[in-house]
């Protein structure tokens, strides 16, 4: 099942994508796609609804973040060995954990806005994991039972903020628009093997990143189990699980985002994003 939230920012409605790829309105069934709707029982209830009975949404509305009111946006760093190599950093012995500000969340096709003073804003296509049940000290064997589904994340990062202005990564990860998520949340039963998904990213039509979740250092199950030992994972929390090689920082010469660039990225079975890069503008 592919769940979406569509409409103007702050006014999104719940929906789903049917088997023919058409957008159906869920607002007559549920108020929103939030923590309550991510529980296994609630998802099974939605799955049983005849999709053809739901109203068809006309046109091409904007997609928002597929989960409302995300509580935590957690990142895992250097989770692909070849990406660690291009960054000139050792392969981590334990997952590297950082937080992305909730205020950086944006729709999958919303513009990326370069922050004031940006010199090294970079791209990172990543598998996103959405928690469906509260997780505390869960085992690796049981970890996937706590996952509602998966999505595409672009972990946009300002490298000079991240690496040259103190030891904490967070300040380079949480700028406004630095967290495109979606277009949809794909529930567990539609993903045969989450460790066999191809990822890609293109910049202005040129392929920059090509990878597979098969080469992750720490699997999704390991990450969920690990994080649950340090924090309670709540329904609706989103985890970005690391990026394959090909980021701008690792290229020779380095290439960072500038106004007018266009990114296109996706993951097999999870959909595609496209973002225009724009200059910083003052909020209205």
As a whole-number percent, the residues of the chain with pLDDT over 70 amount to 100
Average pLDDT over residues 11-28: 97
pLDDT score of 86:
80
Does residue 157 carry a pLDDT above 90?
yes
Q: Which tens digit of pLDDT belongs to each residue from 172-181?
A: 999 999 999 9
The string of DSSP letters for 42-88 reads HHHHHHTS-GGGSPBPPS-PPB--SSSS---EEEEES-BHHHHHHTT
Q: Which residue has the tokens 């690496």?
A: 163
Confidence of residue 281 (pLDDT cuts 50, 70, 90): confident
Average pLDDT for the chain: 95
Report helix, strand or coil for 229.
Answer: coil
Global pTM reads 0.96
Position 282 scores a pLDDT of 79
Question: What pLDDT is attached to residue 169?
Answer: 85
The span from the CA of 187 to the CA of 107, in Å, is 19
Give residue 31's pLDDT. Answer: 97
Listed in sequence order, the residues at least 6 apart from 213 whose beta carbon sits closer than 8 Å to its beta carbon are 127, 194, 195, 196, 197, 199, 220, 241
For residue 119 the two structure tokens come to 């010199």
User: With bands split at pLDDT 50, 70 and 90, how would you rate the model's confidence at 85?
Assistant: confident
**DSSP three-state, residue 205:** coil
pLDDT band for 190, please (50, 70, 90 cuts).
very high
pLDDT tens for each residue of 225-278: 999 999 999 999 999 999 999 999 999 999 999 999 999 999 999 999 999 999
Residue 241 burial (C-beta neighbours within 10 Å; 0-12, 13-18, 19+)? buried
pLDDT digits (tens, 9 = 90+) for 213-233: 999 999 999 999 999 999 999
CB contact at 8 A, 156 and 123: yes
Q: Report the C-alpha gap between 194 and 129 in whole angstroms.
A: 10
Q: SS3 breakdown of the chain: % helix, strand, coil, rounded to 5? A: 20, 30, 50
Residue 33 has pLDDT above 80, yes or no: yes
Say what the pLDDT of residue 239 is. 98
To which residue do tokens 């660690």 refer?
Answer: 84
Q: Report the alpha-carbon distance of residue 275 to residue 233 in Å, rounded.
A: 29
The 10s digit of each residue's pLDDT in 204-215 is: 999 999 999 999
Note whether 195 and 219 are within 8 A (CB).
Answer: yes
Place of tokens 């069934």: 29
Residue with tokens 């050792």: 90
Count of helices and strands (H, E) across the chain: 4, 18
Q: In the structure, what pLDDT confidence band is assigned to residue 82 with cuts at 50, 70 and 90? A: confident
Angle at alpha carbon of residue 197, lines to 72 and 32, rounded to 5°: 40
Q: Domains of the chain by range and CATH?
A: 65-278 (3.90.850.10)
């Amino acid at each position: 099942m592919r769940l979406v939230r569509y409409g103007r920012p702050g006014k999104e409605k719940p929906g789903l994508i049917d088997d023919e790829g058409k957008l159906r309105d869920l607002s007559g069934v549920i108020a929103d796609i939030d923590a309550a709707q991510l529980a296994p029982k609630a998802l099974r209830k939605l799955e049983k609804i005849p999709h053809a009975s739901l109203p068809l949404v006309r046109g091409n509305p904007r997609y928002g973040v597929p989960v409302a009111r995300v509580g935590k946006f957690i990142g895992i760093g250097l989770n692909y060995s070849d990406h660690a190599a291009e960054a000139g950093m050792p392969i981590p012995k334990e997952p590297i954990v950082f937080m992305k500000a909730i205020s950086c969340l944006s729709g999958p096709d919303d513009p990326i806005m370069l922050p004031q003073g940006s010199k090294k804003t970079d791209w990172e296509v990543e598998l996103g994991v959405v928690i469906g049940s509260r997780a505390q000290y869960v085992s690796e064997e049981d970890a996937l039972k706590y996952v509602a589904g998966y999505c595409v994340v672009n972990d946009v990062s300002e490298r000079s903020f991240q690496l040259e202005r103190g030891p904490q990564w967070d300040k380079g990860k949480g700028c406004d628009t630095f967290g495109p998520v979606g277009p949809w949340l794909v529930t567990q039963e539609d993903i045969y093997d989450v460790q066999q998904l191809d990822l890609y990213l293109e910049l202005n039509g040129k392929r920059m990143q090509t990878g597979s979740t098969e080469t992750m250092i720490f699997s999704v199950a390991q990450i969920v189990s690990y994080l649950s030992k340090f924090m309670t994972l709540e329904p609706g929390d989103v985890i970005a699980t690391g990026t394959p090689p090909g980021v701008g920082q690792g290229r020779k010469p380095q290439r960072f985002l500038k106004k007018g660039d266009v990114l296109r990225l996706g993951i097999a079975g999870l959909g595609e994003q496209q973002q225009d890069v724009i200059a910083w503008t003052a909020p209205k």
